Amino acid sequence: MLDLEHSIAISNTKCLITKEDNIWLWHRRVAHIHMDHLKKLSRKKLVIGLPKLKFSKDKLCDACQKGKQVKASFKSKNQISTSRPLQLIYMDLFGNSRTMSLGGNYYGLVIVDDYSRFTWVMFLANKSEAFNAFKKFATLVQNEKNTNITSIRSDHGGELQNVLFQNICEEHGINHNFSAPRTPQSKETPYEIYNGRKYNISYFRVFGCKCFVLNNGKEKLGKFDAKADEAIFENDYVRGKVDNTLFVKKFKNDTMYVQIYVDDIIFGSTNVSLCKEFAKTMQGVFEMSMMGELTFLLGLQIKQMSDGIFITQSKYCNELLKKFGMEGCKEAATPISNTCNLDLDEKGIAVDNSKYKGIIGSLLYLTASRPDIMFSVCLCARFHSNPKESHMKSVKRILKYLKGITNVGLWYPKGVSLSLIGYSDSDYAGCKLDRKSISGTCHLLGSALVSWHSKKQACVALSTAEAEYIASGSCCAQIL
């Protein structure tokens, strides 16, 4: 016995299912496009071959659910699970950044204290420095807070998950935990809790904002009034193209030079009366006192005599020897040995990087009046990123050389011709690392040395003649 009414209902149901399957078929054909877009294509007949479709919102596509799903958001952790600083720290390494920092770094090791949320960032040149950076950090903060690091949590990065890192954790009793893979939120973790005092942010300013000098009424702000340039320009002085703090004025056969350094004004002329006139003019504009002849400026000792001027850095040189414990050393006849061939010395014993850089920086400043050490200092400076004992030995030889002749300087005689003469020289493939040649130039105004440099050439010369041509070109460029 058949129920015709029921049969019709079943038939209608089958028909609806067929149409619905047709919709989902087209949904899959057009790369799981959104149903609203598919409906628009069908209704407006924007494409050929797509039939009229009826849409139902009571069904979801399983593939879309899986392929388009997103991770649930991680709620902020309101309760701190640690009871003191350094009980748990989080570590992560970011990089390789596309742009190198001024210090030559591409990576950054970020360390966050769970208890205080205090953060440290250490910049690294490469990943391999992460281990040594952590060792220094651990020693520093544990001594500072007089407590030990209990646990570390990091991701599975190779720079933090290796035998060396595991050994140091076991040696110091540190528990190293790892975050769950592909869940960076679990690594998310201020100054007041860590240091026990509030952080002062009163000096925070937006980059590029205007600055104002605060005055309590007791001091006059003459040097901040920006009147010096205006006063000099009003007297027809021309600002130097290379040095913006140098002003020059021509008086027929005489010339007046004015150099401004912060609130100090240094001036000189080929005619003494012009100096007196300038001093009178400036005293009429500013409240200033005349200090007499220049004897000392920025570490330079200046001795003015009847037949010329002598510039030396003997005081700075003696302070340099005392600073680095070389005041009692034996003297050396030359700043560098003629058999010295410095290289990277990769198997050599490393020395204190900061001390080496400090000596090099001090010696480079000394070359302002000592061209005799220019080559040797520049040679040693090439190895400042990873100095070894062999490099430190060469640097100390320079200091021994200076011990014997601290009073050497530059002599500028009076009444010499002002003809500009340049000299250049070059070795051939003097650098063992890249076979580039070293250029050396000096420039004299009459018989007075005014400029000098020692520099490795930018390209590899194919012959001694080519190396000499490059050095000559550098010399001419300096003259121009």
Q: How far apart are the first and last CA of the chain?
A: 115
Would you list the DSSP string of 353-397? Answer: HHHHHHHHHHHHHHTTT-GGGHHHHHHHHTTTTS-BHHHHHHHHH
Tokens of 227: 């009147």
Higher pLDDT, 102 or 455: 455
Q: How far is CA 44 from CA 19, 48, 57, 184, in A?
A: 19, 11, 20, 45
The answer to whether 118 and 191 are in contact (CB under 8 A) is yes
CATH number, domain 88-195: 3.30.420.10
What is the pTM assigned to this prediction?
A: 0.50
Query: Residue ranges of the domains in the chain?
Result: 4-60, 88-195, 226-292, 311-410, 416-479
Q: pLDDT digit string (tens) for 376-390?
A: 999 899 888 889 999
The least confident of 152-161, 275-284, 349-358 is 152-161
Q: What is the mean pLDDT of residues 415-427?
A: 86
Q: pLDDT digit string (tens) for 260-311?
A: 776 678 888 878 888 888 888 777 777 777 777 788 877 788 888 888 889 8
Angle of CA points 116, 117, 123, to nearest 5°: 130
Q: Is 101 helix (H, G, I), strand (E, B) or coil?
A: coil
Q: What is the pLDDT of residue 423?
A: 92
Give residue 13's identity as a one-letter amino acid code. Answer: T
